[in-house]
Amino acid sequence: MGFPRVEVPLEDPERPSVVATAARQIDRLLGTAPATRSLRRRLKRDLAAAQARWDAEAAAVGLTSAIEREAAADRRVDEILKSASRTPARSIPGVIAKLAIATEWGELEPGADGHPWDFIRGALADLTAMTASET
């Protein structure tokens, strides 16, 4: 069983059919003219049936719950990282910890939103505050 999709035949016989994975793609490819209505309906029914089979199989093998758990874990990681980047460090080891988090996370998720810059900005602010309190 592959990912839910349908092949959409195009009017031009020299062009191969195109794969659609969403109903709106079918409409985009075939247009909304009355002449294509029955084909669009059939393709959308076929796509819905393929999606239903996919959903049933994904649930049966635990994929659905695994994806949900992964998404929840990702949200939790984001919360922890935001909290860590906003929590002021009160010592040089605290700043080092923030920078360590920034470098480790940056290696794992190079395109992550705001990381490592949130940590670096926070560490800079922490060092500035520590230096100001020493004078």
Q: What is the pLDDT of residues 85-126, one digit of tens each?
A: 889 988 888 888 888 888 777 666 656 665 677 778 888 888
> Three-state secondary structure along the chain?
CCCCCEEECCCCCCCCCEEECCHHHHHHHHCCCHHHHHHHHHHHHHHHHHHHHHHHHHHHCCHHHHHHHHHHHHHHHHHHHHHHHHCCCCCHHHHHHHHHHHHHHHHHCCCCCCCCHHHHHHHHHHHHHHHHHHC
The pLDDT assigned to 115 comes to 60
Q: What is the pLDDT of residues 42-55, one digit of tens each?
A: 999 999 999 999 99
Residue for token digits 């819905």? Answer: 48
Look at 40 and 130; give whichever has higher pLDDT. 40
Quote the pTM value: 0.59
Burial pattern 7-19, b for ≥16 Cβ within 10 A else e, equals ebeeeeeeeeeee
What residues pair up with 20 in beta bridges, in sequence order?
6
Look at 131 and 133; give whichever has higher pLDDT. 131
Mean pLDDT of 19-34: 94
- Report residue 117 as tokens: 């810059």
Q: Cα angle at 105 between 101 and 109, to 5 degrees?
A: 170
